[in-house]
A and B are shown apart, each in its own frame.
Chain A
Amino acid sequence: MPQLLRAHEMMEFVYNVADVAYPVSIRDQMNRSRWLVAKAYDLGFFGPSRDKRYQRLLVCGAGAAGVTAALHAVSLGVETVLVERSPAPFLRQRLCRSRWIDPVQYDWSANHWTAAAFPHAGPAMPLPWPADRSNRLAFRWQLVLNAGLTNPLLTFRRPDHAVGAPVPIANPSGEVVGIEMSFHSGLTEAFGMLLWCVGFSDERRFAAPNYSGFAFWETDPFEQPDWGVVSPPTRLRGLVSGGGDGALQDVIRLATRKKSAIDVWHDIEAAGWSMPDNVRHALFTAEDQAQRALLWCRPSSVDEHNALQRLHDEYVQAVNYLATFHPARALLINQVVNVLAANPHALAHVHSCTHFARYYGLNHFLVLLLAKVATLANVASGPQVRPQTGVATVSGHGCLGNPWTCHGVNHTVHLQHRPMCFGPARAAAGQENAHVLVIRHGISPHPAFSHTPMAFARQVMPYHLP
């Protein structure tokens, strides 16, 4: 059996895209779901080669991964049932009007940048991905799904959802030949295979005792004047907590009021500054080495820490070189100061450990560059980065349930020292006031089924499979 199927297998004929690969990326999930359908089809898990009762594919969840899987299955001539709990597809993306999303906005430039296209080398993906605001992209995808629904092979059942676990169906000799699934609507049906594409896991955006910040996939006002705070004081204070990509994205958005890293990059390059080839080469080499190291090390291990630290050190050295030694440093600093002028308010960024977490290189570079230039040029509104620091508690306001009610309210944020990325917090590290508090502490996977994968899903990259 192909490794990709092994890495996502929950039980016979049941595969999970949603919770297995971590850290998650929509782009990766869409790739995986498409390839899982293709591989399973090749092996005859569903489709015309099966007994009529098991010819159909069941896809649970009509998000980006689920719709990709369903449309691809239909393109192969497979009768497919797509089930969604909400009245319409792509709820997560539709809810967010402010996030300008991947794949071409946060990474180092490649030739797919200018085309704003899905960086996928294989056959066409069912859903197109021009860079856009999240909800507008969902609108485009919904039109694609509508076109797909003209194919009688595709049934889109909503609002409905699976109830309980799938039940294996065995033939008289005890061999599992398909699965049976019950639904909230009262139906119980047999399928050749189930592809579970439900959920993106739970985002950790809370602080004790009762603070809840904006979710990553939620409409926020960070790019508005004064960060969208109505009647702001003369000087607001913002604080972003987290070293991962979500945190870095929002540091950039708050510090520059630009919608994405690529916009900041274009502004910096506008006056003729460009990245020296030797620095670009060194960073790309470091990225390449780190990705290979991260691919094969155990998650949350010392090896992972070492790989991320080496990568981070390379970025720090590059930024120091460009801003303090390179002949074009004055031009660079001038451009970055201009970019930072869009935000007059103070911004702090705290993150655990001594390095950022994953992932996109341009975010990584820009946060370090903005912070470095803010220090060199005495720009008080530039991000002040504090490593080895985390948010412990928040006092001054209770916000649980609706971040809008506390946006702009002055909170006291109690910080703690975190000596290692995966270790416990050790001691109090002072406090900061923050009117705008963004907590991006990753996600908590919640596997739908009890499962021990036969391979780390992240070690099986669908892009590289023959």
Chain B
Amino acid sequence: MAAFFPAQLTRLYPPGDNGKIPCVIVLSDWAELPRHDVINCVAEIFRQAGERQNVATVLIVDDLGSIHAEYEVLLSALTEAGGIILAPDSPEEIEMVRRDPLVFAEAQLIAAQSHSAVATAPLLSPSMPGSPDAYKEFGKAVTRLLPGELEEVIEGRRHDDWRYLN
């Protein structure tokens, strides 16, 4: 059984690097197949990618959206085999999946890539803070009060604190 590598996703990756090209499975396309065939297909993709030292990216678009025990068992089995289940999470995403599940998968991939780029920045030093600037944002959480403001807070607490009511 061949895996499905859609052209609209392959253009997001360098051509020819199959280990990095996401495989997309749309559940409604596979609904008639025996369950273990789908699970075995995912497992086979991972085995082949493993030989190349890659972690396969198998995106499974849940366009059926069923809520019942047997369906959840299938999704869990696919996940344990290595797949990532992508289900719509808003009315806009539901509409997107209805129109074209692959466009939805592509949107999810782009969103994921935009965040992963941040983390691959090199770390500066083994264990010391990377730069003094790293602490500046943290410091914003604390607001130092001017003397007048402090007086207002104290007065406010004196007159408005519920523990002094009654």
Contacts and interface: CB of A to CB of B under 8 A. Distances in A.
Interface string B27-52: 00000000000000001001100100
B115 A130 contact: yes
Contacts of A166: none
A135 B85 contact: yes
Interface in B94-137: 108, 112-113, 115-116, 118-130, 134-135, 137
B84 A139 contact: yes
B156 A404 contact: no
A198 B54 CA distance: 21
Interface in A106-120: 110-112, 119
Given A136-B86, A221-B67, A228-B67, A146 B54 contact: yes
A124 B163 contact: no
A216 interface: no
A404 B160 contact: no
B75 A219 contact: yes
A158 B116 contact: no
B68 interface: yes
Contacts of A126: 119, 123
Contacts of B165: 321, 325
A139 B135 contact: no
Contacts of B137: 111-112, 121
Contacts of A41: 126-127
Nearest to A155: B53
Contacts of B89: 133
Contacts of A277: 153, 156
B57 A143 contact: yes
A233 interface: no
B127 A136 contact: no
A147 B118 CA distance: 12
Contacts of A142: 55, 57, 84
A146 B55 contact: yes
Contacts of B82: 86-88
Nearest to A322: B162
Contacts of B115: 128, 130, 140
B92 interface: no
Contacts of A89: 55
Interface stretch (A91-99, A173-181, A266-274): A91-99
A297 interface: no
B130 A405 contact: no
Interface in B54-79: 54-57, 59, 67-69, 72-73, 75-76, 79
A121 B108 contact: no
A1 interface: no
- 7 A-B pairs with least C-beta separation: A321-B162, A38-B127, A404-B69, A88-B82, A123-B130, A121-B138, A87-B82
26 contacts: A39-B127, A42-B126, A76-B126, A87-B43, A87-B50, A87-B81, A91-B80, A111-B137, A111-B140, A123-B124, A123-B134, A124-B121, A135-B85, A136-B86, A138-B84, A141-B116, A143-B113, A144-B120, A145-B55, A146-B57, A149-B55, A281-B153, A318-B162, A321-B165, A326-B162, A404-B68
Interface of B: 20, 43, 46-47, 50, 53-57, 59, 67-69, 72-73, 75-76, 79-82, 84-87, 89, 108, 112-113, 115-116, 118-130, 134-135, 137-138, 140-141, 153, 156-157, 160-163, 165
Interface of A: 35, 38-39, 41-42, 72, 75-76, 86-89, 91, 94-95, 97, 110-112, 119, 121-128, 130, 133, 135-136, 138-149, 155-156, 158, 219, 221, 224, 228, 230, 276-279, 281-282, 317-318, 320-321, 325-326, 402, 404-405
Given A123-B125, A139-B108, A149-B54, 17 more contacts: A41-B126, A75-B123, A87-B43, A87-B46, A87-B81, A88-B46, A88-B82, A110-B141, A111-B141, A121-B138, A124-B118, A125-B119, A139-B59, A148-B120, A156-B55, A278-B161, A321-B165
